[in-house]
């Protein structure tokens, strides 16, 4: 079994199921931090989809997009943590 077949048969369906489960957590999350973590995880799963696309279609151009998404997810999480810390100190 080649790497492309393995990605198509196992990894893409696993990522798809995880997107559904995380999106349910995003919608039903009991608190704001739960939703922020779910949103961060959705972006991370999107990065996984982009990486799979790059491997299957041999297009390394989209790895730049994945890096930018990772940076935005990280900065968003840091900003939200800073916001929560400010609220907590009041």
All structural domains of the chain with their residue ranges = 3-89
| pLDDT for residue 1 is more than 90 | no
53: part of which helix (H) or strand (E)? helix 32-57
Task: State the pTM of this model.
Answer: 0.87
Q: What is the pLDDT of residue 88?
A: 81
- pLDDT, tens digit, 9 for 90 and up, residues 26-67: 999 898 888 989 999 999 999 999 999 999 999 888 999 999
Q: Which two tokens stand for residue 15?
A: 């990522």
Q: What is the pLDDT of residue 33?
A: 86
Helix-then-strand count for the chain, H and E: 4, 0
Residues 6+ apart with CB under 8 A from 72: 43
């Amino acid at each position: 079994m080649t790497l492309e077949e393995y990605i198509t048969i196992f990894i893409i369906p696993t990522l798809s199921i995880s997107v559904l489960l995380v999106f349910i957590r995003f919608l039903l999350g009991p608190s704001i931090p739960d939703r922020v973590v779910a949103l961060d995880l959705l972006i991370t799963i999107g990065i996984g989809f982009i990486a799979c696309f790059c491997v299957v279609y041999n297009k390394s151009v989209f790895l730049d997009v994945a890096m930018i998404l990772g940076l935005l997810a990280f900065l968003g999480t840091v900003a939200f943590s800073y916001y929560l810390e400010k609220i907590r100190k009041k």
